[in-house]
Amino acid sequence: QQKRTAERLAEMDYLKTQFLAVMSHELRTPLNSIIGFSKVLLKGIDGPINERQAQDLKYIHESGQHLLALVQDIIDISRINAGKMELQLEEVDLREIVQSAMDAVTPLVQGKPITLEQHIDELPPLYADRRRLRQIMLNLLSNAIKFTEKGYISVSAQIVESWNTCTEQQESFVQVSVSDTGIGIPADRLTEIFEEFTQVDSSDSRSRDGAGLGLPITKKLIELHGGRIWVKSKVGEGSTFTFTLPLNSRGVQEVVRTV
């Protein structure tokens, strides 16, 4: 009986993942049309539009992009949960990735008294998936901006050494922190936020922007790279998300093979 229940659960999980993956792909095509054609109209390519029409089209365009990001998150989490997320590992320069993510989020801080800072030590190249590492940085940075009204958001990175008691070897990691001076997270919610579809305050209009998938995806992508993530936070003062990535490529390859 127990075995049958377990089999049924596994089958349901598989079907759920399949359903999400197929649906998400089906949703993407019409969404891309909505985004593309609203942009065409906005640019006046099909003829002049008035100010109110431009405002409405802007909402359509933004909502389309928002929905596309949510769909992309659902694809990612179902791919990860099905064990089908594959990393394209190559040598990457962390500084370059941080810079590119910072550039992408700069428009989001416009109008807010927030400074964006970077303190990145001289680092050897990392063996990682460039696109996924950028996604990790974008998730952490956009959360920091979303939940911070004033102050600073800072990214720092340095090399740390630690002793692995399993392999009895010294290991080197790159440790990256994203700190903000935002609203912070209550101590009893700190582990929960890494779970799927969890938000600290879903009535908060900022939270309505997301689906509570950003951090679970970020955590799993980091773990696929052989690293880990944790958070320290104080309500009203700010939060610091820190993650590690192993420096030796052998470590990453081993993790990738066993995941």
User: Taking the complex as a whole, how short is the minimal distance between the CB of residue 93 and ligand ADP, in angstroms?
Assistant: 25
User: Taking the complex as a whole, how short is the minimal distance between the CB of residue 160 and ligand ADP, in angstroms?
Assistant: 22
3-class DSSP state for residue 225? coil
User: Taking the complex as a whole, how short is the minimal distance between the CB of residue 215 and ligand ADP, in angstroms?
Assistant: 3
The owner of tokens 């390519």 is 45
Query: Which helix (DSSP H) or strand (DSSP E) does residue 72 occupy?
Result: helix 51-81
* Residue nearer to ligand ADP on the CB measure, 151 or 212: 212
| Residue 193: count of CB within 10 angstroms of its CB | 20
User: Taking the complex as a whole, how short is the minimal distance between the CB of residue 225 and ligand ADP, in angstroms?
Assistant: 18
User: Taking the complex as a whole, how short is the minimal distance between the CB of residue 106 and ligand ADP, in angstroms?
Assistant: 17
CA distance 11 to 181: 45
Bridge partners for 120 per DSSP: 157
Distances (CA, A) of 113 to 119, 185, 234, 236: 20, 21, 20, 16
* Residue nearer to ligand ADP on the CB measure, 214 or 227: 214
Residues that bind ligand ADP (CB under 6 A): 143-144, 147, 180, 182-185, 193, 198-201, 207, 210-215, 239
CA 144 to chain centre: 11
* Residue nearer to ligand ADP on the CB measure, 240 or 248: 240
* Residue nearer to ligand ADP on the CB measure, 38 or 143: 143
Report the sign of the C-alpha dihedral through residues 223, 224, 226, 227, in that order: negative
CA distance 201 to 135: 24
* Residue nearer to ligand ADP on the CB measure, 50 or 205: 205
* Residue nearer to ligand ADP on the CB measure, 210 or 226: 210
User: Taking the complex as a whole, how short is the minimal distance between the CB of residue 62 and ligand ADP, in angstroms?
Assistant: 16
Nearest residue to ligand ADP, using CB?
A: 210
